[in-house]
Amino acid sequence: MAAPPRHRDNPLTRSPIGLAGIAFLGLMFALCLGTLPWTLATVGDTAVPRYDAGSPREGRLPPIWVGYDARDAARATAAIPEAELERLAAEAGVRPDDLLTAAPEDLPDSVRAAWPRFWLGSDTLGRSLGVRLLAGGGISLSIGIAAALISVCIGTVYGAVAGYAGGKLDSVMMRVVDILYGLPYILLVVLLAVASDALVDEWISRSRAKQTWMEQRVVEVAAERGEAVTRSQARVLITQDRDLDTELSALAAQRYPRREMSEGTRTFLDVATLLVAIGGVSWLTMARVIRGQVLSLKNQPFVEAARAVGSPTKRIFLKHLLPNLIGPIVVYATLAVPQAILQESFLSFLGIGVKPPLPSWGNLAADGLSELNLTRSHWWLLFFPCLLLGLTLLAMNFVGEGLREAFDPKRGR
């Protein structure tokens, strides 16, 4: 009698929430990353990118599907170009001021059709929140993925070297990891981000070179008069004498002019520094995981056989150890990406991450927080950035759980 056919289990379909997370992330990647060329492109003949385009007259308008109250209707009507508003008023047989004070239900359909329409509302400067969410999502996802890749690469190499070398080198490398674990993680990221901003500002302003030259100039003038003045005394004299400070500052500005840096270059440096700061301090867990895996693999017979036949260390790692580390690396990477995105959003929320006008979900949420008040809250400016950030992080954690189901043999059927 033939045995019943064996049911083949696809490990990638073991977790329904993992499939749901993959579907949602695919949608977010397509919307945010796929539209980056469109959201970052300039509008018309202007040099303003689309995510930063808008008019303050169209500011703080709610989503069009929510419905406008009297104040929103008056603001939307006032945003209509003056010539167009006069034409609409003439067609309705009223004055333009009457349209601004009319109730929403009393306005003609032609006026309603001329209102600015924002599906997710507009911010205080009249910029479309939907466009800024797409651009901010693309930037947040890009920084999160890049920072996670940096942390995965550093952690994999560091852990593999420590685990394969063993002995004193392993002990020293792991003690370094323990020390870094004892330091506040977010504090390290903040310090790195602030230090990089200070270095860029110093390179542009050259303030240290100017201050050094001013102090040296005071010392030289005092020496010509036969007086002995130290650098610290010169610093005090400059601080106390306002006229001397003004005169020397003008001369120093001529000698050390301010360096020019384009806005695009400054933005690129800020983003690059941010992802390096996040990825450079989030590899510790990865290093420990990889070290443990390498310690268990390097004593396996196939590794000992490769070592016995004289295979170089590089070949042993690439051909024998790395393929067996793919599972833990992939699972950890899916868990590192939401952590990196959360860190970027948190730093941008504090104002030391992505700098406006370049949007990210973090600084969009920070802008929306100030719009909540007891008299009139523009809730959409805070709700939608937080909603997209929360759903994306939740979906990534679902994907990590699904991958763990797929790669863990103990969870197989």
Residue 383, in any domain of the structure: yes
- Please say which residue of 223, 255, 287 terminates a domain: 255
Predicted confidence (pLDDT) at residue 407 exceeds the cutoff of 70 = no
Residue 79 lies in a domain: yes
DSSP string, 365-384: HHHHHTT--SS---THHHHH
Mean pLDDT value across residues 51-72: 87
Across the chain, mean pLDDT equals: 83
Q: Residue 15, CB half-sphere, CA atoms under 13 Å: how many? A: 23
Across 122-126, 300-304, 319-323, which has the greatest mean pLDDT? Answer: 122-126
User: Within a domain: residue 344?
Assistant: yes
Domain count for the chain, please give it: 3
Pair (162, 300) in one structural domain: yes
The residue with tokens 């695919």 is 26
From residue 350, how far is each of 49, 231, 260, 354, 377 by CA, in Å? 24, 38, 27, 10, 21
Task: Enumerate residues 6+ apart whose C-beta is below 8 A from 55.
Answer: 79, 125, 126
- More confident position, 166 or 36: 36
Query: Is residue 263 scored above 90 in pLDDT?
Result: no
What percent of the chain stands above pLDDT 70?
Answer: 94
66: pLDDT strictly greater than 60: yes
pLDDT 10s digits, 186-242? 777 778 778 887 888 888 888 888 888 888 888 888 887 777 778 888 888 888 878
| Residue 41 falls inside a structural domain | no
CB contact set of 232 (below 8 Å; sequence gap of 6+): none
Q: Which two tokens stand for residue 245?
A: 């400070």
In contact, 278 and 189? CB cutoff 8 Å:
yes
Task: Read off the CATH number of the domain in which 328 is found.
Answer: 1.10.3720.10
- Interatomic CA distance for residues 146 and 161, integer angstroms: 23
Q: Is 338 a member of any domain? A: yes
The domain of 240 spans 207-255
CA dist 96 and 89 (Å) reads 5
**401: in domain:** yes
Q: Could you tell me the pTM of the whole model?
A: 0.81
Closest among 306, 289, 365 to 129, alpha carbons compared: 365
**For residue 63, cis peptide bond before it (omega within 30 degrees of 0):** no
Q: What is the pLDDT of residue 110?
A: 85
Q: Are residues 376 and 239 in the same domain?
A: no
The answer to whether residues 228 and 247 belong to one domain is yes
Structure tokens, 93: 């047989």
CA torsion 271-276-279-283 (nearest 10°) is 180
Per-residue pLDDT tens digits for 367-395: 888 888 767 788 899 999 999 999 998 88
* pLDDT for residue 13: 66
Instruction: Output b/e per residue, 283-310; b: 16+ Cβ within 10 A.
Output: bbbbbbbbbebbeebbeeeebeebeeee
List residues bridging with 49 in a β-sheet: 42
Do 153 and 280 fall within a single domain? yes
342 and 247 assigned to the same domain: no
SS3 for 49?
A: strand
Three-state DSSP class for residue 249: helix
Q: Tokens 């130290």 map to which residue?
A: 230
Is residue 246 a part of any domain in this protein? yes
pLDDT of residue 114: 85
Bridge partners for 54 per DSSP: 127
Residue 3: its pLDDT value, please?
53
Question: Are residue 381 and residue 283 in the same domain, yes or no?
Answer: yes
Q: Of 89, 113, 137, which residue sits at a domain end? A: 113
Least confident of 127-136, 139-148, 301-310: 301-310
Residue-wise pLDDT for 154-168, tens only, equals 988 898 888 888 888
* pLDDT at site 384: 93
Q: Are residues 100 and 194 in the same domain?
A: no
CA distance 283 to 155: 5
Model pLDDT, residue 11 = 59
Cβ-based burial of 405 (10 A; exposed 0-12, middle 13-18, buried ≥19)? middle
278 and 387 in a single domain? The answer is: yes
Task: Give the C-alpha separation, 157 to 163, whole Å.
Answer: 10
Same domain, 293 and 403: yes
Same domain, 403 and 315: yes
> Quick one: pLDDT at residue 286?
86
- State residue 63 phi and psi, 5-degree precision: -55, 140
Confidence of residue 397 (pLDDT cuts 50, 70, 90): confident
Residue 340 sits in the same domain as residue 294: yes
Q: How far apart are the first and last CA of the chain?
A: 25
The segment with the largest mean pLDDT, out of 181-185, 289-293, 333-337, 370-374, is 289-293
Residues 211 and 195 in one domain: no
In a domain, 141, yes or no: yes
The answer to whether residues 63 and 379 touch, using CB atoms and an 8 Å cutoff, is no
